[in-house]
Structure formats: structure tokens, C-alpha cells
Amino acid sequence: MFGFRLFRTLAFRIVVVYLALFALSAGALAAFTYWNTKRALEAETDQTIQAEIAGLSEQYQRQGLGGLTDVITARSMHAGQGLYLLVGPLAHPLAGNLDAWPALRRTGSRFVEFEYERRVGGTLERHPARGRIFHLVGGLQLLVARDIRERADTERMFTTALPWSVMLMLSLGLIGGAVMSRNLLRRLDQINSTSREIMAGDLSRRLPLSRAGDEFDTLARNLNRMLDRIERLMKGMREVTDSVAHDLRSPLNRLRNRLEGIMRRLPHEGEEAAEIESAISETDRLISTFDSLLLIAEAEAGAARNSMSAVDLSALAHDVWELYQPVAEESGIVLAMVPSKSVQVRGNGNLLSQALANLVDNAIKYTPAGGKVTIAAERNGAGAVMSVADNGPGISEEDRPRAIERFVRLEASRHSPGTGLGLSLVAAVARLHEARLELGDNRPGLRASMIFA
């Protein structure tokens, strides 16, 4: 997993590109050096041969064949790299340190190349050589050459060492790139996992800083500063919400209490008592709308995240099913529960129960008598799923996104009671749990599902 991801990292790709460029330029440099060195060495050999021929030809002109033979014999004695062979018209050797006229290979220039056998410390070795033929009068031929074994060795060394060093360089580069990417990846992973936690609502988390003081630290420091600011804003908002809750609820409290006080003093029967009672229930509705709004705000701020624990969706669904069973029966609706094994998720049991209760409540409200509402909690390919399906009128596809928005109540349902915040609260609870809320077609009817990844 880690290894596979490594190849997709930016750092690794950069390393590969640079490595390719570097290998290319290093290869070009090596090739140029090789070619140049080879040329220089060849030129040196050729010049030496040229100089010897010049010297020998001078001897020949000055002292004739005898002088030439003497010089050749003398030079052959302590020859080193020099090779000489003077042959007669029938190619029989007259002087020199080569035993016989070798098989010559023409090169492009006036020079020839051949191989000969040389005695090195008691064994015979075939050595390459390069030289020139000099024609004398009377069909005599002089071959002046130099052993180029050393030069060939150097060349071979060069050509064999080059691929190895390139390979070594590439593998070192790749290992270095992998290590570098891994380190970068580790830093990025830290940043990513922390960001995820922060996004999930834990605003107190901060990105880790290393001691290196590098670009990542600068980035992390800046992000941390941004988070500080966001946290301050969120805290401020929370404080405002809390004090609004306090300041608005207290007067509501007093209003309700006064009404209640009046009602207690009135005789139980009578028009006034009924009026006051309806005023009290109006106040209660106001309070519950207000509570729903606060709860949605809280859920969206992710504040309830700290109170999450292991929740069995199946048991939770069963309890809600049981709670609503009599209500459904009274409305002439069959409330069914799909039996399932335990489905564990991490969550806030109270909020999840409330969300499911809202869904069931809605389904019962919008399903005509004789209909059926089915609650299910199961684990399938998509993850843990909690769903409520009915066979009522459903919600048309274009209206579904609107149904989740706050305050929006669909035209068709205006006559039914409810604050319209039911589904919005469900959506907020889903977001808090990083679950997906889906409204789908139950053919006929609506299927609302919360899918926990």
C-alpha cells in the first residue's frame, strides 16, 4: 500500500525526472570524454609511428638497406611497444621483432591494424597493433607498428565500466528518491490525518512541527495560525449561541411560567383556560423550533463529537421501532423492522436515535392509512446503513435536495404539522457522523438512508 503510493508521490516523480535528465547528461559527458580520449590516444600512436617512419626513412636514404636493417635490429632489441618488420619481395622476414607478416586490416586512413602473438613472461598472448607500411625500392616492405593493447584495455574498461556506473547511479538515485519521497510522504500524512481530524470537528488539534524548520514547518505554522483564528471564531460563535440560548430561553421561560401561573388560578373548565392552554402549547412549539435550531447548529459545529461512543444501530433502530409501533398502528400503518445482526458504528446514540425518530415520524405522517413503513439497520457493501422506507407519495427527484435544506417544507406537505426542521436535523446529524444522507425512490414512496462509510 505504502510502496504503491510512493510511486504516485510528487517527490518521487520529480526524482525520476531529474534522474533521467541527469543520466542523459552524464551519459553524454561520458560518451564525449570516451570519444575524445580515444581520438587523442589514436593520434598519439599515429604520430609516434609517423615519427619512427620518418626516422627510419632518413636512415635508409643516408645509409642504405644495411643501415636500415641495423637500426631496425637495434630498435627491435629494446622495443617496448614498437613493432618492426622488414620483408623482402617474397615476404620473407629480413629484420624486426615480428615473426611473420600478419594479416592486415585496412582502416579508413593510411594506417593498418592487425593482431600478433607476443611472448609475455613465458606465455603467448594475442595483442592488437596499429601501424603503417612503408614501401622501399626492390619490392621491400617495412611495417612499422605499435602495440595498442593498453589502449584497447583502457577503452574496454571504459565501455564496461560505463553501464555499471550508470546503473549504480540510477539505483542510488531511485533509493534516494524513494527515501526522500517517503519522508515527504510521512510529513504529508501527518498533515493529512490531522486535517481530517480537524475537519471532523476536533478544532483543538494542531499540525505537528518538526525541528527542521523547513518549508513544511512554515506551512504547518501558517495553517496552525489559521486554525487558531478559526477556533477563536468558532468559540466566539458558540459563546454567542450559548448566550442567545440563555438570553432567549429565560424570557421564554418567564412567558411560559406566567401563562402556567394564570392557568393554575383559573377554573379548569372554561374558555379562558382553553385559550391559555393553547398559548402555552404555542410557546412550547416556539421553544421546540428554537431547540431544533440550536441542536442543528451544535451538530454542525461538531461539538457533540466528544461524546461519541460505540453504538449498535440495530439495537437503536429496534428501540425506535418499538417506540413508534403504537403510533403507526393508530394511523393504520404497518411499521416493520428488518431483523439484523448488530451493526456497530461510532456515534452519539441520542442524536442518532433522534434522527431516526424524525425519519420514522416523517414517514408515518406522510404515508396514508393502509401503508407500510420499514425500518432497517444493516451492513452492506456501502457500509453501515440505517434506513426508513415508506410507500407514501414520496418526494419527486427535483425536490429532494430542497427537502434537506433548513426551513424548506415541500408544498404538498404544508397541511401537516411539524416544524420542517426534522429532515434538516437528520442531515446535520448525518454530517456530524460523516454519514451520507440519501433520499431515494422506494417505488412507490420515499427511502431515506443514512450511510456510514
Interface with another protein by CB under 8 A: which residues? 242, 245-246, 249-250, 252-258, 260-261, 263, 268, 277, 280, 283, 287-288, 291, 294-295, 298, 303-304, 306-307, 319, 322-324, 326-327, 330, 348, 350-351, 353-354, 357-358, 361, 364-365, 418-419, 422
Q: Burial level of 394, CB count in 10 A (0-12/13-18/19+)?
A: buried
Quote the CA–CA distance of 259 and 406 in Å, as a whole number: 30
Closest approach of Cβ 338 to another protein, in Å? Answer: 20
Closest approach of Cβ 252 to another protein, in Å? Answer: 5
* Cβ atoms within 10 Å, residue 77: 8
The answer for residues whose C-beta is within 8 angstroms of residue 70's C-beta and 6 or more apart is 63
Closest approach of Cβ 227 to another protein, in Å? Answer: 22
Closest approach of Cβ 200 to another protein, in Å? Answer: 17
Nearer to another protein, 139 or 326 (CB): 326
- What's the half-sphere exposure (Cβ side, CA atoms, 13 Å) at 105? 8
The answer for residues whose C-beta is within 8 angstroms of residue 126's C-beta and 6 or more apart is 115, 116, 117, 118
Nearer to another protein, 180 or 303 (CB): 303
CB 364 within 8 A of CB 328: yes
Closest approach of Cβ 442 to another protein, in Å? Answer: 21
> Which H helix or E strand runs over 95?
strand 93-96
Residue with cell 440560548: 245
Nearer to another protein, 9 or 283 (CB): 283
Closest approach of Cβ 222 to another protein, in Å? Answer: 32
Nearer to another protein, 180 or 297 (CB): 297
Nearer to another protein, 245 or 338 (CB): 245
- What's the half-sphere exposure (Cβ side, CA atoms, 13 Å) at 108? 0
Residue with cell 611495417: 143
Nearer to another protein, 143 or 317 (CB): 317
